[in-house]
């Protein structure tokens, strides 16, 4: 387990990421003294369809003002800041990458949201929260690296209060066979732990969740990729997710699109509930 955790940490490591993003924001003409969450959206939404998916998932989840939210695998904190500013939620993020947490904290301070969002360097398999601490658990494309999914979802179940909701968007195994690597989440096949939609649904039930709604969003993600540089041949913007993905950004994104086109992956959004 420790060896696998280290390989995942190494995969996502981007030394000096906070400074890289700060410099890119300045070069893009952003006012660093009056930074907004919209200024950050091109770079801090570390998942497919970016801010578009965050807005869609929040509406799907029925977010209510003032909710206590845990963002598991919070990355650079884009969704956490969106939920805090748009809905007035208090959001606690956890991520395995110390550099991501440091960068997310910096960006929260720069956008004036440090009183509403916080980020802790911790494992999703052992979160530093008491039982029943949150009204809503939120994950966006995090479980692909996690082998022990029962423990992962069990931790989410544990920190939710009875009646609390769990909402996610995730990448699952499609019928087209093993994925092409590298991808944004896996440098090699041994880092990839995708379940089929049916297998994941069964596991979540075994953990104790009640399913409210489950929907396939693969077609929407295919359509989105049709307009991205990987499909159009246009250059990546200077301020974009490639700053996070590193030197192999182009290959990782091309492989993700190809995995989609060949039905090797699927995208699902779901809402579940911890029974009262």
Tell me the two tokens of residue 25. 């924001």
Mean pLDDT throughout 141-154? 97
Q: Fill in the DSSP letter of residue 209.
A: P
* pTM recorded for the entire structure: 0.95
- Indicate if the pLDDT at residue 2 is higher than 60: no
Mean pLDDT across the chain, nearest whole number?
95
The pLDDT, as a whole number, for residue 8 is 85
Q: How far apart are CA 25 and CA 12, in angstroms?
A: 21
Q: How far apart are CA 171 and CA 47, in angstroms?
A: 10
- Indicate if the pLDDT at residue 1 is higher than 50: no
Q: Which domain holds residue 154?
A: 2-273
- The sheet with strand 160-173 has its strands ordered as 117-121, 90-95, 68-72, 134-140, 160-173, 265-273, 210-216
Mean pLDDT throughout 18-40? 96
Q: Fill in the DSSP letter of residue 71.
A: E
Mean pLDDT throughout 152-165? 98
**Domain total of the chain:** 1
CATH code of 24's domain: 3.40.50.150
Q: How far apart are CA 243 and CA 160, in angstroms?
A: 33
The pLDDT, as a whole number, for residue 3 is 54
């Amino acid at each position: 387990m420790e060896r696998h955790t280290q390989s995942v940490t190494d995969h996502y490591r981007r030394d000096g990421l906070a400074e890289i993003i700060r410099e890119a924001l300045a070069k893009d003409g952003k006012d660093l003294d009056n930074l907004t969450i919209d200024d950050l959206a091109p770079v801090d939404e570390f998942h497919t369809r970016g801010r578009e998916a965050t807005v869609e998932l929040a509406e799907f989840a029925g977010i209510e003002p003032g909710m206590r939210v845990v963002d598991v695998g919070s990355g650079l904190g884009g969704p956490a800041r969106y939920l805090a500013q748009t809905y007035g939620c208090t959001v606690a993020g956890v991520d395995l990458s110390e550099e991501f947490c440091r960068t997310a904290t910096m960006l929260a301070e720069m956008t004036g949201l440090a009183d509403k969002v916080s980020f802790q360097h911790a494992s999703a398999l052992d979160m530093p929260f008491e039982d029943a601490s949150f009204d809503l658990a939120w994950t966006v494309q995090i479980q692909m690296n996690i082998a022990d999914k029962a423990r992962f979802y069990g931790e989410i179940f544990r920190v939710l209060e009875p009646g609390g909701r769990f909402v996610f968007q995730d990448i699952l195994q499609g019928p087209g066979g093993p994925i092409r690597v590298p991808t944004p989440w896996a440098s090699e096949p041994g880092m990839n732990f995708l379940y089929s939609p049916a297998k994941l649904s069964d596991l979540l039930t075994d953990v104790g969740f009640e399913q409210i709604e489950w929907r396939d969003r693969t077609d929407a993600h295919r359509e989105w990729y049709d307009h991205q540089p990987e499909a159009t041949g246009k250059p990546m913007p200077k301020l974009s997710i490639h700053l996070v993905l590193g030197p192999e950004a182009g290959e990782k994104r091309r492989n993700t699109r190809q995995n989609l086109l060949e039905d090797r992956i699927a995208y699902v959004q779901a809402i579940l509930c911890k029974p009262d």
